[in-house]
Amino acid sequence: MHRLGDLRGRRIPFSVEFSPPRDADAEARLWRAVRVFERLGPAFVSMTYGAGGSTRDRTVRVTGELAEATTLLPVAHLTAVGHSVDELRAMVGAYADRGITNILALRGDPPGNPLGEWEQHPEGLAHADELVRLVRDLGDFHVGVASFPEGHHRSPDLDHDTRFLVNKLRAGAEYSITQMFFDVEHYLRLRDRVAAFDTEQAAKPIIPEIMPITSLRSARRSLELSGSKLPVALEERLVRAAGDGPDEDRAAVREVGIDVATEMCERLIAEGAPCLHFITLNFARATSEVLTRLGIEMPAPAAQPA
């Protein structure tokens, strides 16, 4: 099984994040995006997991279908919030039964209010490093974790946040995927902080997460839930593009969003990022446009027998 920790040394790959669909129409849209990305050849695809396990069954089912019915390498999100240790073991077993051995181990957000007070399940785990150890102890799994270029909103300062990331890596995580950000300097400073804290763990890939903005309203909602921020200059640019009408000018906002995502990716590539991880919202078009601008071409189709 391909190890995500082996990304360094290759031509920069890309990866994408999907979310479990809520209904039949959303599922059809997801699979249309899946087939587009399957042709584009991502290094892996990840499937999110709702707060408190609210999408648990759909996450397991769809991630299993990605493993069984496509050529893609799925990475399953797993969160500690709202689950006992026995339930977490069962989830890991359910993934293993579907042939899934790559897991992103997250403490997770409280259900109902991602920025609310976090409460440990009475028979559960308190921190993501404990979840990393649990998954690693259950078999031959490759485990990643989250990292936060602007610091986790519950961390009192960036040093505290860096210490928690390094603890997760020391527990056995092979890489981290960042929360989305819109200032590349935040990513570079995160790398520097990890390197200053632990040079051995700093050798593990820190994969930047990029969200091409196609709607200012949607972007603000995502940022509100994540605790990340738009740089002032970028927000002003997007507001101007959105216009003063009752409905934002989606085409103009989208043009800015694709431009900014491309510029960020170019800088990240130049700075040696090991992979580019895109939030897709289960659509392929925006990410595909950024990849095209970056010159990441679609692989040639395999020759068909005569």
Question: What positions carry a catalytic annotation?
Answer: 17
Written as one string, the DSSP assignment of the chain is ---GGG-TTSSP-EEEEE---SSHHHHHHHHHHHHHHHHH--S-EEE---GGGTTHHHHHHHHHHHHHHSS--EEEEEE-TT--HHHHHHHHHHHHHTT--EEEEE--PPTT-TTS-----TTS-SSHHHHHHHHHHTSS-EEEEEE-TT--TTSSSHHHHHHHHHHHHHTT--EEEEPP-S-HHHHHHHHHHHHHH-HHHHTS-EEPEE---S-HHHHHHHHHHH-----HHHHHHHHHHH-SSSS--HHHHHHHHHHHHHHHHHHHHHTT-S-EEEE-TT--HHHHHHHHHTT-PPPPPPPPP-
